[in-house]
Amino acid sequence: MTKKPSPAKSAVALRYDGTGAPRVTAQGEGYVAEQILALADEHNVPLHKDANLVQLLSQLELGEEIPASLYAAVAEVLSFVYLLSGKLPRHAMREEQRQT
């Protein structure tokens, strides 16, 4: 019985500054993906594993905004990241300040 080789790791990094849509800032497979993940770990960037989403995002060009068709999926990831980091998005912080 031969063991199936495992597929190469893939990674995509997004940046969201609170305006517009998140943009692809890094992407790669194999060694490049490992480097992206290592940098994220080094800088305490939360990771979210979703092979299907990575596959879709890896089709975008570097610097490209995510398309509207991926807003819901990426919004879930951003919510996860904000929750883990204990932060609120800028618009939520402004709303919270208005209520106090």
Number of domains into which the chain is organized: 1
Structural domain boundaries enclosing 74: 10-99
Cα separations in angstroms, 24 against 7, 19, 59, 67, 99: 22, 14, 10, 11, 34
What CATH number corresponds to the domain at position 45?
3.40.1690.10
Rounded Cα gap, residues 47 and 54, in angstroms: 12
Q: Which residues fall within 8 angstroms of residue 13, CB to CB, at 6 or more apart?
A: 24, 25, 26, 27, 36, 40, 45
Rounded Cα gap, residues 3 and 49, in angstroms: 24
Residue 3 lies in a domain: no
Query: Which pLDDT score is estimated for 10?
Result: 95
- Cβ pair 77, 49 in contact under 8 A: no
Residue 70 lies in a domain: yes
- Cβ pair 74, 14 in contact under 8 A: yes
Per-residue pLDDT of the chain (100 residues), as tens digits, is 566 666 779 999 999 888 889 999 999 999 999 999 999 999 988 888 889 999 999 999 999 999 999 999 988 887 877 777 776 655 554 445 455 5
Nearest C-alpha neighbor of 36 from the set 60, 17, 10: 10
Query: Which pLDDT score is estimated for 93?
Result: 47
What does the block give as tokens for 86?
Answer: 């204990």
Residue 1 lies in a domain: no
